[in-house]
Amino acid sequence: MVVVEVKLPDIGEGIAEGEVAKWLVKEGDHVSKYQPLVEVITVKVNVEIPSPYEGRVVKLLASEGQVLKVGEPLLVIETAEAGEKPVEETAQPLQTEAPVPTAAKPKAQVLATPAVRKLARELGVDLATIQGTGPGGRITEEDVRRAAKPRVEAAPAATVAEAKPVQRIPIKGLRRIIADHLTTAKNRAALVTIFDYADASALISLRESLKPRAEELGVKITYLPIIMKLLVPVLRQYPMVNANVDDEKGEVILFQECNIGVAVDAPEGLTVPVVKNVESKDVFTLARELEQLSEKARQGKLSLDDVRGGTFSITNYGAIGGLRGTPIINYPEVAILGTGRIEKRPVVVGDEITVRPIMELALTADHRIVDGGYMSGFLNTLKKYIENPGYAAMV
């Protein structure tokens, strides 16, 4: 019998660390080869790490909620399969499921233990702003307390009794992944949002005309697949919006294909599955894919392929009653479109006031890459196509 140390594997896609979500075995358990050992949450996917050997679990080396870097040990297994010498084994993950969209984290990583990360969250300290004094630049608890001290000293004396918390909810799992990803977007990109609105009369008529064929095909036609199709010629005319930014190389990556990510409000949290090659699909195909991806997102069964490769994103908060918003880009994408609910409003047409169905639009983009004039041109063109869908077919 030999002892095998099983490490967190390299899952790919630039994933550098993972959080131990749930142990599926306990110390002393006998495990078979390929039996799932632990569930791990990463920035892009949820994975089950399988046992590379048959044997007995000797020791669990990480606790639930602990963040490990790729290559750090998970547990120790005693086995008769590995040969005569003790070995270190990196297990390969089973089929992955993706919780968020999302883009790869920057290569530069904050070196800090889970305990230090927890202390930083409690004290409201951003670890990215601290220069670690520990070995290899690792951030210590003293570094965190030192960074928090000026704020503590400057805090005014309380004049009223401090409110007692009813409950403390740890930010972990998918919620932590979402928080980290959105913080990265806010910290690295210079976000700016511009607004416009469109008369949705023609859009409503177009949808009504498509309903009979959609029913024949067994799909539900909403406004979203129509808008996605209208976006294609706009993205072609404004290619800097259909792009990713590579901050490590200082480059903007432009794309010919239109892979549009769609924000889905799932029970576990926001996910952004990607509809690939929108330019080559009709609205009925897009509607079917949206149904399938949305259902997989709600069930937490998105694959890694379902969430990667996005070139532009859209969030339809109007579907749940939202009027307007300031969406945050799905970094490293350059831009995201927000669409609000359609509601009747008085508008001036010619010299007369009339009531029209109005849809609000919001475009958030990385101001480092595109300017306000470029963004306004994008929205004006999209508005023209929403109000006159036939124009898009002629481009």
Q: For 157, phi and psi rounded to 5 degrees?
A: -65, 140
3-state secondary structure of 195: strand
Residue pointed to by tokens 């009027």: 323
Q: How far apart are CA 151 and CA 356, in angstroms?
A: 52
Closest CA to 237 of 384, 390, 388: 384
> Do 199 and 205 contact (CB within 8 A), yes or no?
no
3-state secondary structure of 270: strand
Which of these is catalytic: 367, 368, 383, 384?
367
Q: How far apart are CA 9 and CA 72, in angstroms?
A: 9
Q: How far apart are CA 21 and CA 59, in angstroms?
A: 17
> Do 261 and 314 contact (CB within 8 A), yes or no?
yes
Q: How far apart are CA 75 and CA 338, in angstroms?
A: 45
Q: How far apart are CA 245 and CA 104, in angstroms?
A: 11
Q: How far apart are CA 50 and CA 65, in angstroms?
A: 19
Residue pointed to by tokens 């990607």: 274
Which amino acid is present at 135? P
Helices (H), the chain: 114-123, 141-154, 173-188, 201-217, 223-237, 283-298, 304-307, 372-387, 389-393
Catalytic annotation present for 181:
no
Q: Cite the active site residues.
A: 367
